[in-house]
Amino acid sequence: MRLIELPSRYLVFLGDVTDPSCAKTAFGLRDWTPERCVGEYALPGGTVSAGLPPLSPAQARRHGAEALVIAIANYGGVLSPDWIPTLLESLEAGLDLVSGMHMRLTDQCELRCAAERLGRRLIDIRNPPRDLPVGNGRKRTGKRLLTVGTDCALGKKYTALVLTREFKARALDADFRATGQTGILIAGTGMPMDAVVSDFVAGAAELLTPDAPENHWDVVEGQGSIFHPAYAGVSLGLLHGTQPDAIVVCHQLGRERLVDLPDFPTPTLEETIELTVRLARRTNPRARCVGISLNTSGIDQIAAQHALAEHAARLGLPVADPMRGGAELAELVAACLEP
């Protein structure tokens, strides 16, 4: 995969976000590349913080920031007109702009003209390579793990990152394969799957996870959910194209309705496992669900232990919260690696 030439230090822009789920890029950068995050900047009316030092663009530049990164994942990936003055101010302060939104920086005449005048870069992360292949379903060498979800924004990326780290800690050859804007910012490479034309999603996933040595693991960040009316197409193409040997189903404890679609209930873990494995076996007959990643961030440690144990007993599978670690995570990792 092609590497993206990214600035090394960021001012994290939170805009006017009031819903923490829309700031998952900010949280991902904070948690996985803290050394690159100089500070954060929010507009009046914004109520979400990543816990970074509040800095203006000029202050961030003086603290060593090289770019302002739009660390927002809003519905539709839209650049708000209210953000433009801050983006222009950042360019004037000597910062490049980095964005993972669907609406591209380079398509905004005001920003493009200012960047050209000032010699600054506009970097759009959601920019898939040209000439992507159509998926062919051919079996490839190597091993693959895919994280899938009952919904969006509940831990698929964090689960893949933790599992990659755990594989490497066991001296295994493993790569994290990013498929979304935050993962690409963390890894510096990847495939923006939700910006790929639908006919080429499976082919893009095949390109992301090519032939590899027999003991090599590609740990792939999942996207959306096959149950989500808006995003199931991307999820299914990724499932078919990656041909996962191991599937980890991710779920947030207590989430009863889909994000942004309250008329739709969140599917159960049982039906998610059954449908995911059935669809995955279209391109990999040996695909299996190896365990559950349960996001228990809303409860304390004792309650989390009970929840993990209850789900494991009911499902007959390892269940862990990767961010809590412990014996449950070790059991999940061992299940991933079973032949």
Mean pLDDT of 8-22: 93
pLDDT tens for 192-248 read 999 999 999 999 999 999 999 999 999 999 999 999 999 999 999 999 999 999 999
**Cα–Cα distance, 131 to 120 (Å, whole number):** 28
188: CATH: 3.40.50.300
Indicate whether 75 pLDDT > 90: no
**Same domain, yes or no, for 232 and 165?**
yes
Please report the pLDDT score of residue 1 as a whole number: 59
pLDDT band at 52 (very low <50, low <70, confident <90, very high): very high
pLDDT band at 38 (very low <50, low <70, confident <90, very high): very high
Please report the pLDDT score of residue 2 as a whole number: 60
Please report the pLDDT score of residue 36 as a whole number: 96
Indicate whether 97 pLDDT > 90: yes
Domain-ending residue, one of 73, 89, 124: 124
Q: Which range marks the domain in which residue 220 is found?
A: 143-336
Indicate whether 260 pLDDT > 80: yes
Residue 95, token pair as written in the block: 């910062």
Indicate whether 302 pLDDT > 70: yes
Please report the pLDDT score of residue 204 as a whole number: 97
CA distances from 23 to 85, 194, 200 (A): 20, 18, 28
DSSP state of 155: S
Domain-ending residue, one of 68, 93, 124: 124
Share of the chain above pLDDT 90, in %: 92
**Same domain, yes or no, for 66 and 162?**
no
**Same domain, yes or no, for 115 and 185?**
no
**Same domain, yes or no, for 107 and 244?**
no
Mean pLDDT of 268-281: 98
**Same domain, yes or no, for 158 and 210?**
yes
Closest to 103 in 3D by CA, of 114, 92, 113, 111: 111
Specify the amino acid at residue 50: A
**Same domain, yes or no, for 55 and 111?**
yes
Please report the pLDDT score of residue 76 as a whole number: 80
**Same domain, yes or no, for 33 and 178?**
no
6 vs 325, higher pLDDT: 325
Asked whether residue 186 is assigned to any structural domain, the reply reads: yes
DSSP characters over 204-264: HHHHHS----TT-EEEEPP-S-TT-TTTHHHHHHHHHHH--SEEEEEEETT--EETTEEEE
Domain count, the chain: 2
**Residue with token string 């440690």:** 301
Asked whether residue 131 is assigned to any structural domain, the reply reads: no
User: How many CB atoms neighbour CB 16 within 10 A?
Assistant: 15
89: CATH: 3.40.50.720
CA angle in degrees (0–180, nearest 5) for 70-75-78: 50
Mean pLDDT of 298-303: 96
Asked whether residue 112 is assigned to any structural domain, the reply reads: yes
Which three-class secondary structure state does DSSP give residue 150? Answer: coil
65 vs 22, higher pLDDT: 65
CA distances from 113 to 72, 96, 131, 142, 326 (A): 23, 13, 29, 46, 52
Taken in order 121, 127, 128, 131, is the CA torsion positive or negative? negative
Asked whether residue 285 is assigned to any structural domain, the reply reads: yes
**Same domain, yes or no, for 113 and 221?**
no
- Tell me the residue ranges of DSSP E strands in 52-93: 67-70
Indicate whether 3 pLDDT > 70: no
Asked whether residue 34 is assigned to any structural domain, the reply reads: yes
H or E stretch including 27?
Answer: helix 24-32
**Same domain, yes or no, for 188 and 235?**
yes
Find out whether 258 and 150 touch, Cβ atoms under 8 Å: no
Indicate whether 40 pLDDT > 80: yes
Share of the chain above pLDDT 70, in %: 99
**Same domain, yes or no, for 95 and 158?**
no
Asked whether residue 221 is assigned to any structural domain, the reply reads: yes
Please report the pLDDT score of residue 326 as a whole number: 97
Indicate whether 264 pLDDT > 80: yes
**Same domain, yes or no, for 111 and 200?**
no
pLDDT band at 116 (very low <50, low <70, confident <90, very high): very high
Asked whether residue 5 is assigned to any structural domain, the reply reads: no
Indicate whether 259 pLDDT > 90: no
pLDDT band at 339 (very low <50, low <70, confident <90, very high): confident
Average per-residue pLDDT for the chain = 96
| Phi, psi angles (nearest 5°) of residue 248 | -115, 120
Domain-ending residue, one of 91, 124, 157: 124
**Same domain, yes or no, for 292 and 157?**
yes
Asked whether residue 134 is assigned to any structural domain, the reply reads: no
Q: CB under 8 Å to 314, separation ≥6 — which residues? A: none
**Cα–Cα distance, 210 to 82 (Å, whole number):** 42
**Cα–Cα distance, 244 to 277 (Å, whole number):** 10
pLDDT tens for 133-167 read 999 999 999 999 999 999 999 999 999 999 999 99
pLDDT band at 5 (very low <50, low <70, confident <90, very high): confident
